[in-house]
Structure 1
Amino acid sequence: MVVPRPRTSETRERIQAAALELFTAHGVRQTSLRQIAEHLGLTKPALYYHFSSRDELVASLVQPLVDDVEALLAEDEETGRSEPRDLLGRYFDISYRHRAVTALLVRELGALSELGFVERVVSWRHRLMTLLVGPDADVADRARAIVALGGLGDCLVLLGDTPVEKLRSAALDAACAALGPLAQR
């Protein structure tokens, strides 16, 4: 009996899953493409068929998060739709869906900074802050927004073993509490 070979997209997804696991366990810089190939029982050329470098592989892991956050921001900036709890909830949902990559971003700040992702996250934070408190907010209101956003992200990483329904509610309540009266806009 002939065992069917995995489709190219399946192999690519397997490589990404193994890379995320190894990057999380050992670090991006400490994990080579050879180690990923060996972990999967692939040859190095087979891995290179899908990803020409470790940087390309890392980018492929982070890009779906980038695309989702950029879409959220673009939609809200275009429509002006930014009720704080709703915006924070949708941001939480995206971050939760990509929580393994979000945790990797937090742990591997240096390595991901070299690839330009940290600047992207800082830009998101500024844009989210503006959506939450407006472009002319004073320092106190901007600080509340920063605490709300940072706390929401930290909850995903530090309380990641909490059931999502419970975590979402608690994190949103805390983020809105940090915003104070701004959450009622």
Structure 2
Amino acid sequence: MDGRRSDTRERIRAVAMELFTERGYEKTSLREIAERLGVTKAALYYHFRTKEDIVASLSDDLRRGIDDIVSWADATPAGPERAQEILTRYGALLHGLGRDMVRFWHENQPAFRELGFGVGLRYQFRVLADLMTAPEHAPLAVFHARQALLALSWSISMMGDLPLDDDECYGAASAIASDILRRM
């Protein structure tokens, strides 16, 4: 039974993401999400009471993923290998969440700010860059680390209009991010 509940939650999240991406977060209602799923609003409420709850669950996935990267990095000696592995793990996390999810985060920044999710994610982003440049944290190295991380997130989110599949976008973004990282 638990597996079915989890599958339903994932379907709700996926459909909500589709609608948020198509129509925008503000213009999408819970009723529309339920209709697209072919369920009642009551069935939807069983899993998520509000749109904010859906977005929070999606943000939690990203935060937990970054927390896992930070925990791994804290237990790993600093250096170029760790920096590259942080970049690789961050890229895999974003790729695993999907291009629509990452694009949604970028295109709905006001909703994220209003819901209070953006501050924590920005802090985690800076922590990753700091871990990539430890122990010196030279300002130019931090700049390059942040640019490498941004290359992954922005490339995945901003290239939806190109006739590339998710794997092609991820591969190209990873190569560009690694090139930036080598400049540190």
**In the alignment, residue 25 of structure 2 is paired with which amino acid?**
V
The answer (yes or no) to whether the contact 1:22–1:31 under 8 Å persists in 2 is yes
How far apart, CA to CA, are the structure 2 residues paired with 1:163 and 1:46? 33
RMSD: 2.3
Give TM-score scaled by structure 1 length. Answer: 0.83
- How many residue pairs get aligned? The number is 177
Correspondent of 1:78 among 75, 79, 85: 75
What's the % identity of the aligned pairs?
33
Bigger drift between 122-131 and 38-47 goes to 38-47
How far apart, CA to CA, are the structure 2 residues paired with 1:78 and 1:12? 33
In structure 1, the gaps of 5 or more residues are 1-5
Q: 1:40 to 1:174 in 2, by over 3 A?
A: closer
The answer (yes or no) to whether the contact 2:84–2:181 under 8 Å persists in 1 is no
How far apart, CA to CA, are the structure 2 residues paired with 1:63 and 1:139? 30
Bigger drift between 9-18 and 158-167 goes to 158-167
Q: 1:23 to 1:140 in 2, by over 3 A?
A: same
2:152 paired residue number: 152
How far apart, CA to CA, are the structure 2 residues paired with 1:80 and 1:114? 38
Are 1:14 and 2:11 an aligned pair?
yes
1:89 paired residue number: 88
Bigger drift between 9-18 and 116-125 goes to 9-18
> What secondary structure sits across from 1:114 in the alignment?
helix
Are 1:41 and 2:41 an aligned pair?
no
Matches within 5 A, 1:54-65: 54-65=51-62
Runs of 4+ in 1 over 6 A off after TM superposition: none
**In the alignment, residue 88 of structure 1 is paired with which amino acid?**
L
- Provide Cα deviations, 1:82-112, integer angstroms capped at 9, x if missing partner: 5222221111111100123222111111101
2:124 paired residue number: 124
- Provide Cα deviations, 1:151-180, integer angstroms capped at 9, x if missing partner: 121121234553555544432332233234
Correspondent of 1:170 among 162, 169, 172: 172
The answer (yes or no) to whether the contact 1:89–1:172 under 8 Å persists in 2 is yes
1:114 paired residue number: 114
Give, in angstroms, the shift of residue 41 of structure 1: 2.4
1:141 paired residue number: 141
Are 1:68 and 2:65 an aligned pair?
yes
